[in-house]
Copies of this chain bind each other. A is one copy, B any other.
């Protein structure tokens, strides 16, 4: 069924049908209803080839991520974004990448303003700076720019879709893995953060981790250690912590920065003696997985997040399809054994 056929059946012109289909007013209630009925009955599906042909328009999707170097976590979403854009570029999708300094609110705000100035047709955002991200989300809503979040969600803010792992559940799984490993009942949760980091994802992971032991009434002694990478005595504290760890102890680092601690543990010849679970397949972590220092890494599949983010925007902007509002990325467990094979 085509628009023309609908028009004939409804005894109106294609122009009117189009106005009805796109809700752009100037149609009497009566004809509107008549057209809609016929559309329903004939379950009309627009021909996307024709639409694409006539629109023949370029859409720009802006992406706003933290600045990153080669092996940084944030290099991976970027990779997925590029691949996805490559796939949909024949539909007129272009990408403009904006980067901000990860823990710098001012910089985020500055770059966010640039993003808005560029008037993109869609925005892919990693909302790691919550306050400001909320503000940006509000701006997007006002300007009717479809917004897709990756990495973490922004509950309460309006968005097209939000793509990421369930942090709480991943923490729970980490707990199960450590518990199953028959480690000592002394478990150390180590937060290795940057100075200004105040990330909800880490909190959720920790919460999930603790909840596992609570829900199963497992008597464990949990010690929490907070380390900030920029602190003057960071390295020293790290060394101390590693010294304190005994054979059979277990450590959970709810972050990709586990390699710092793993480095110390490895240096002290304790690889394989301490159970360690952390996050993310960055090169340094992979290395300590291979040396048996880290037992499990939880993969957030950041490339996939970038990839799916662009896909969502493409489906919405170009195909005008509904998209899933919450997309959960598989919680993939990586061990020394299946590593080669996942990355």
Contact = CB atoms under 8 A, between A and B. Distances in A.
Interface of A: 45-50, 52-53, 87, 89-92, 166, 169-170, 172-173, 176-177, 180-182, 212, 295, 299, 301, 315, 319, 321, 328, 330-333, 335, 337-338, 341-342
A330 B315 contact: no
Nearest to A336: B176
Contact of A90 (B47, B176, B335, B342): B47
13 contacts: A46-B90, A47-B53, A53-B53, A90-B319, A169-B337, A169-B341, A173-B335, A176-B337, A182-B182, A299-B330, A301-B330, A328-B342, A331-B332
Contact of A330 (B89, B295, B342): B342
Contact of A166 (B177, B180, B321, B341): B341
Nearest to A337: B172
Contacts of A331: 332-333, 338, 342
Contacts of A46: 90
Given A48-B91, A173-B335, A341 B328 contact: yes
A333 B337 CA distance: 14
Given A49-B53, A87-B315, 14 more contacts: A45-B89, A47-B53, A49-B52, A49-B92, A90-B319, A169-B338, A172-B338, A180-B181, A180-B295, A299-B330, A330-B332, A331-B332, A331-B338, A332-B332
A275 B295 CA distance: 20
Nearest 9 Cβ contacts at the A-B interface = A182-B182, A49-B52, A49-B53, A48-B90, A49-B49, A172-B337, A169-B338, A330-B332, A180-B181
A92 B172 CA distance: 44
Nearest to A179: B181
Nearest to A211: B337
Contacts of A169: 337-338, 341
Given A90-B47, A182-B181, A173 B332 contact: no
A321 B342 CA distance: 24
A177 to B, nearest CB: 7
Contacts of A47: 53, 90
A49 B180 CA distance: 54
